[in-house]
Amino acid sequence: MVVRALRDEGVKYIYGYPGGSLLHVYDALFQQEDVQHVLVRHEQAATHMADAYARATGKAGVALVTSGPGATNAVTGIATAFTDSIPMVVITGQVMSHLIGEDAFQETDMLGISRPVVKHNFSVQRPEDIPSIVKKAFHIAESGRPGPVVIDLPKDMTTPTERYPYEYPKQVKMRSYTPITRGHSGQIKKATDLLLNAKRPVIYTGGGVILGHASDQLTELSRLLNFPVTNTLMGLGGFPGTDRQFIGMLGMHGSYEANMAMHHADLILAVGARFDDRVTNATDKFCPTAKIVHIDIDPASISKTVQADIPIVGPAKVVLDEMIQLVKGSKKQPDAEALKAWWQQIDEWRQRHGGRYRTDDSELMKPQQVIEMLSKVTNGDAFVTSDVGQHQMFAAQYYKFNKPNRWINSGGLGTMGFGLPAAMGVKMNFPDDDVVCVTGEGSIQMNIQELSTCSQYDLPVKILCLNNQSLGMVRQWQDMNYESRHSQSYMNSLPDFVKLVESYGHVGMKIEKYADLEGAMREAFAMKDRLVFMDVAVDPFEHVYPMQVPRGAMRDMWLSKTERT
């Protein structure tokens, strides 16, 4: 019934790992071909694969893991999806229902363990409920503010010799769950009036634009108004990265111009962004002169950390569409005079830092150069997944994302080990696209066993390892706040990655000189059907800049090792 329900939901791939409590389900999987199972090497990877599929498509990914250790191994992946609001359905095996509570073999209270990191969870108590629970799980995961849903499945709910009536529901109705479908027109009107009167506006958008498939609307509205646009780490690709109106990412490692523009704005239109502490810096100093319009599908995101002047609860796509109509129909036009002055100011800020970095202080390549080359070699068109650390920030800053759903990283939880399985989840579903995992020598080792899964399923992803021989992000903080006491941030005994990947049957490259970089990268991407691991030696002493000064305002930043605003 489980497999049938997944098939009827239209699921093509599920990612998982078998175990005692799931043997009936795995036997059912064996006897059909509609739902294909991908065997990972660690359950965490299964959840990241499902998660990345969801990030690339907007549809819920599915993972299947056994009870006890299988389920607990999946928890990091579930939490990763939860903090970034990613739709996912995770089916966890459970011991026989009569054994629950008896400390049975491989029993864990998965409902309890997962509760704080799921949108919802279900425990199956009657086999005949399986179709409706599966349907509800997908509905909840994908609608409203998306999120992961866990279905805990006791083994005796799947006994193959017992038969039950099966009907997969076409629709679900839940009196206690009714996601909002449109915004309040009065509020939208008020907000639009503010937009048309703004002199120093900024449009600040986040993951909600990606999740809500609203980047066309965002782009149209921004162009109509000629306002500058900044994206959060999760919002990159929501607005074309090479567009003149794009002023870069904002926040802790945001661009100088984006953070300055935010600080001096008189109006901020926030769309599907949650005023995260990595964005706002100290909230009491945040954007002192700005009125804030906040569009979000989740009322709890509004006025949580920063008070909104005009809250609009609703899906970004629908609300922005309504704004576009209002702007088009309005007699009043944006204040061209004021905007001209504002753009002049922004362009001045752009000049001041403009994403520069030094290349003359080290023999080794700079990580920024490597990402810029990647952007060039792939025409800004690849799916880029990332791990967590400096390399992640460099990828966010220097890869120009022109399309949504192509930048796939763990922002809210910052899960090292996410990148490789994420790239695999994307590649499996987009076999003709370039998929590259930007990683560090630290992060890649957190799920490196998945190189084996890549061999089994022919997943020719590209891995670009910015090898700085250290936990660079940690080391940067130690440089800046702990007088360079590099406590445990040095990676000793690194493997020879080339030999390592070769032993799994893949191609490895060691790249040490900038002169070799472009050629090597092109060669790697030309090998369409091979996994290629590019181990790139980069300057271990490089820092990510700009970097906001702790407890300061948006505009308070370090611009390099020696310059402060």
Partner 1 sequence: MRHIISVLMENEPGALSRVVGLFSQRNYNIESLTVAPTDDATLSRLTVTTIGNDRVVEQITKQLNKLVDVVKVVDLSEGEHIEREVMMIKLKASGQMRAEIKRTCDIFRGQIIDVTPTTYTVQLVGASDKLDAFISALGSASIMEVVRSGVCGVARGEKVLSL
Ligand X SMILES: Cc1ncc(C[n+]2csc(CCOP(=O)(O)OP(=O)(O)O)c2C)c(N)n1
Q: Residues 463, 429, 142, CA angle at the centre, nearest 5°?
A: 115
Q: Is 106 a catalytic residue?
A: yes
**Among Mg ion, ligand X, partner 1, none, what does residue 414 contact (CB within 5–8 Å per kind)?**
ligand X
Candidate ranges 184-192, 336-344, 397-405, 407-415; the one touching ligand FAD (CB under 6 A): 407-415
| Pairwise CA distance, residues 191 & 213, whole Å | 21
Q: Which of ligand X, Mg ion, ligand FAD, none does residue 212 bind to, with CB < 5 to 8 Å depending on kind?
A: ligand FAD
Helix (H) / strand (E) element for 91: namely strand 88-94
For the CB of residue 531, give the shortest distance to Mg ion in the complex, in Å.
21
In the residue annotation, 473 being an active-site residue is answered as yes
Q: Residue 476 interacts with Mg ion (CB under 5 A)?
A: no
**Residue with token string 């204040």:** 335
Name the residue with tokens 């993972």. 63
Interface with partner 1, residue 101, by CB under 8 A: no
Binders in 241-270 for ligand FAD, by CB under 6 A: 249-254
421 preceded by a cis bond (ω within 30 of 0): no
Those residues with Cβ within 8 angstroms of residue 40's Cβ, 6 or more apart along the chain or in another chain: 15, 16, 17, 46, 49, 421, 450, 453
Per-residue interface string for the shown chain with ligand FAD, residues 464-493, x marking contact by CB under 6 A: ---------x--------------------
Q: How far is the CB of 37 from ligand X (least distance, A)?
A: 26
Residue 81 CA to residue 88 CA, distance in Å, equals 7
* Segment 262 to 281, residues that bind partner 1, using CB under 8 A: none
> Closest separation between CB of residue 141 and ligand FAD, Å?
12
Do you know the residue count of the chain?
565
Binding flag, residue 222, ligand X (CB under 6 A)? no
- Is 502 known to be catalytic? no
Judge whether 215 and 404 are in contact, CB under 8 Å: yes
The correct pick among 64, 86, 134, 473 for binding ligand X (CB under 6 A) is 473
Strands (E) across 441-515 are located at 462-467, 507-511
Find the binder of Mg ion among 251, 334, 417, 472 (CB under 5 A).
Answer: 472
Q: Which of 373, 446, 473, 534 is catalytic?
A: 473
Please, are residues 503 and 531 in contact by the beta-carbon 8 Å criterion?
no
Is 96 part of the annotated catalytic residue set? Answer: no
d(Cα 50, Cα 455) in Å, to the nearest integer?
18
SS (H, E, C) 62-85: EEEECCCHHHHHHHHHHHHHHHCC
Using CB under 5 A, which residues numbered 427 to 456 contact Mg ion? 440-442
> Can you tell me which of 68, 235, 334, 472 binds ligand FAD, judged by CB under 6 A?
235
What sign has the CA pseudo-torsion 472, 478, 483, 485? Answer: negative
Round the CA-based radius of gyration of the chain to a whole number and report it.
24
Residue count, binding to ligand FAD (CB under 6 A): 38
Q: Least distance in Å: CB of 421 to ligand FAD? A: 17
Restricting to residues 302-331, name those near partner 1 by CB under 8 A: 303-304
| Distance, CA of 400 to chain centre | 16
417 makes contact with Mg ion (CB under 5 A): no
Residue 105 falls in the annotated catalytic set? yes
* Structural tokens at position 418: 């996410």
Residues 307-326 that bind ligand FAD (CB under 6 A): 315-316
Q: What phi and psi values does residue 2 have, to the nearest 5 degrees? A: -65, -50
User: Which residue ranges make up the site for ligand FAD (CB under 6 A)?
Assistant: 84-85, 145, 206-208, 211-212, 232-235, 249-254, 272-274, 276, 278-279, 295-298, 301, 315-316, 388, 392-393, 411-412, 414, 473
Catalytic residues: 43, 105-106, 155, 473
User: Which residue ranges make up the site for partner 1 (CB under 8 A)?
Assistant: 111-112, 115-116, 119-121, 123, 140, 174-177, 298-300, 303-304
